Amino acid sequence: MSKRILRVNMTKLEAKFEDLPADFVALGGRALTSTIVAKEVDPLCHPLGANNKLVFAPGLVTGTKAPTSGRLSVGGKSPLTGGIKEANVGTNFAQKLGRMRIAAVVVEGMHKGDDYYLLKIKNDGTEFMKANKWSNKGLYDTYKELYKEFGNKVGICGVGIAAEISGAASGVCFNDPEGLPSRYAGRGGLGAVMASKGLKFIIVDETGAPGVEILNEEAFNMGVKKLWNALTTHDVTKPGGALNSFGTSVLVNIINEAGGLPQRNFSSGQDDRSEKVSGEVKADEIKKRGGVRPHFCSPGCVIQCSEVWTKPGGKDPMGVLEYESLWALGPNCGIYNLDDIGELNRACNDLGLDTIEAGGMMGVAMEGGLAEFGDGKKALKLIEEIKNKTPTGRILANGTAFTAQALGVTRVPVVKGQSLPAYDPRAIKGIGVTYATTPQGADHTAGYAIATEIMGVGGTADPKDPKKAELSRNLQVATAAIDATGYCLFIAFAILDIPEGLEGVVDTLNGVLGTSLTVDDVPGYGMQIINTEREFNKAAGFTDKHDRLPEFFLKEKLAPHNEVFNVTDEELDKVWGA
């Protein structure tokens, strides 16, 4: 069985397998989602209309034994940014698709009517069934019911109430290893795209799957060994290392100390109270409560930076409480209580909300007077407005920029309509260049300059130096390539410092594809993806003037270092040579 595409027509309620075109064979993950979107979606279409498409694509090695490789890309035209979008997630749902040799699932058309549907994908066919009984319900209870109905070995993808009301802050939700709805392709509002088509859930049953075809077993196995060695020896990624011990929230104290942890809607870069919600404190609390730490988001991960956060006494497991989520719903809202943050994160998961966008929205909502900074209980009530589909809830569900406009707030931390993540660009300039210039809207993962500027990975750079075009460009190109492979972006910490690790990545790709790629081919592959995305955005109306940060970053000095974002427009334009 060769690789195939599953084309899902929601207008006709038909799903058909077709062979993967020959010129797509070397594309996976983000490379494939962006290529299909660019070829098949009109850049000027309405993101929630019938002419947009939603594409799911596991990476090239996803579903194999390659370490830390359980990633899936979800792509489409974003209702939040108006441009092309790829949202990335780690989940065994991705690995199941890979083993079924499904290179992509393309959801197109739109169901006319009020019904929602569930699509079950099996190795030898598909089945549609109505999903109305799970509409207007929280995802925690719903996922339990889905596992009860379809068995505990399936993979689940779904959207929540936030997507049902077309919220541009809604994500696409996937199961974690415990079956909880805690793994998200969160950014860009792609959940609303899925719901707009009448598709509520996708169930994947891999029974009888042939597994990923590996054309050169020797090259593949050699690559696995090289990468495994790199991941298990680098200080950031090794067992007992920073990520394994404390999760992504290990960054709270580090970024706070650097004066770049945004507080209270980006009005300050530091607050001593942030230590109360640090990765170290959280890891200790998880141990006391009987949660899980370390933990993997998908089987085969060496790094295991995930966790299962619970209420006191080990009750009501929520899933992971990531650094970005913790910051967005915590310090960005002036909230420094782990239980308040945990309940806000749980509410977002239950409704299908991107936690970064939800935290950005809450920050401007607080600045706009809907709640006081620090009031976790009131913040939770505002999330309830979304659950109840009230007019206020519909505003909040559309994210940071929409909420700020509704409330007349002028400090609006977004680029291309998407909320900034957990690093203030005034204190850490390179990440600001990435926010401004990535085709994806403000996105830290698109070119993670924090690695070099703060963590000293892949060299060193002064975070306050405004000359960061080259650093950001190189990282964006490398990231695009990694996003195509199916490897987690966090392997970058190891492969940037250990050349053999990068060789291992390329070896595994050669093993799967039967090719003879070298490390020198990586930048060109990544640049091809970026160019595809930038051309789509250009056709959608974007210019280099959209590659800018909001005015307040250039004017308002950030405490404690009193920095502004002083990267020139000329430097920003140098990233892509505009």
Do the beta carbons of residue 80 and residue 417 sit within 8 Å? Answer: yes
Cα separation of 87 and 443, whole Å?
Answer: 10
Cα separation of 301 and 5, whole Å?
Answer: 26
Cα separation of 81 and 79, whole Å?
Answer: 6
Beta-bridged to residue 130, according to DSSP, are: 117
What are the φ and ψ backbone dihedral angles of 487, each rounded to 5 degrees?
A: -75, 150
What's the burial of 185, exposed, middle or buried (CB within 10 Å: 0-12/13-18/19+)?
buried
Which DSSP category does 170 fall into?
Answer: B
Beta-bridged to residue 309, according to DSSP, are: 319
Q: What is the full per-residue pLDDT of the chain (578 aa) written as tens digits?
A: 799 999 999 999 999 999 999 999 999 999 999 999 999 999 999 999 999 999 999 999 999 999 999 999 999 999 999 999 999 999 999 999 999 999 999 999 999 999 999 999 999 999 999 999 999 999 999 999 999 999 999 999 999 999 999 999 999 999 999 999 999 999 999 999 999 999 999 999 999 999 999 999 999 999 999 999 999 999 999 999 999 999 999 999 999 999 999 999 999 999 999 999 999 999 999 999 999 999 999 999 999 999 999 999 999 999 999 999 999 999 999 999 999 999 999 999 999 999 999 999 999 999 999 999 999 999 999 999 999 999 999 999 999 999 999 999 999 999 999 999 999 999 999 999 999 999 999 999 999 999 999 999 999 999 999 999 999 999 999 999 999 999 999 999 999 999 999 999 999 999 999 999 999 999 999 999 999 999 999 999 999 999 999 999 999 999 999 999 999 999 999 999 95
Cα separation of 574 and 578, whole Å?
Answer: 6
Report residue 300 as tokens: 């085969």
Which DSSP category does 273 fall into?
Answer: G
Cα separation of 217 and 122, whole Å?
Answer: 27
Q: Which domains does the chain have, with CATH numbers?
A: 4-205 (3.60.9.10), 216-246+425-578 (1.10.599.10), 252-422 (1.10.569.10)
Which DSSP category does 465 fall into?
Answer: -
User: Nearest CA to 226 among 556, 515, 523, 487?
Assistant: 487
Report residue 284 as tokens: 């200790």
Cα separation of 173 and 91, whole Å?
Answer: 10
User: Nearest CA to 325 among 488, 186, 158?
Assistant: 186
Beta strands in 381-420 (DSSP E): 414-415, 418-419
The whole-number pLDDT of residue 578 equals 59
Pairing of strands 117-122, 102-108: unpaired
Residue indicated by tokens 């970058």:
492
The whole-number pLDDT of residue 185 equals 98
3-state secondary structure of 456: coil
Do the beta carbons of residue 401 and residue 440 sit within 8 Å? Answer: no
Cα separation of 427 and 556, whole Å?
Answer: 12
Do the beta carbons of residue 36 and residue 49 sit within 8 Å? Answer: no
Cα separation of 95 and 58, whole Å?
Answer: 7
User: Nearest CA to 481 among 458, 499, 501, 505?
Assistant: 505
User: Nearest CA to 425 among 444, 397, 399, 445?
Assistant: 444
Proportion of the chain in helix, strand, coil states, percent, rounded to 5: 45, 15, 40
Q: Find the length of the chain.
A: 578
Q: Is 464 left (phi over 0), alpha (psi -120 to 50) or beta?
A: alpha
Cα separation of 139 and 133, whole Å?
Answer: 12
3-state secondary structure of 414: strand
The whole-number pLDDT of residue 1 equals 76
Cα separation of 105 and 73, whole Å?
Answer: 11
Task: Please list the alpha-helical segments (H only) found in 438-498.
Answer: 450-453, 469-485, 491-495
Amino acid at 333: C
Pairing of strands 117-122, 199-205: parallel
User: Nearest CA to 79 among 57, 41, 52?
Assistant: 52
pTM for the structure as a whole: 0.98
What's the burial of 221, exposed, middle or buried (CB within 10 Å: 0-12/13-18/19+)?
middle
Query: What does each C-alpha distance from 284 to 237, 278, 339 come to in angstroms?
Result: 20, 10, 14
Report residue 55 as tokens: 């594409």
Query: What does each C-alpha distance from 276 to 330, 342, 451 come to in angstroms?
Result: 10, 13, 24
3-state secondary structure of 130: strand
- Count of Cβ atoms closer than 10 Å to residue 211 Cβ: 13
Cα separation of 425 and 567, whole Å?
Answer: 10
Report residue 451 as tokens: 């690695």
Report residue 273 as tokens: 């109270």
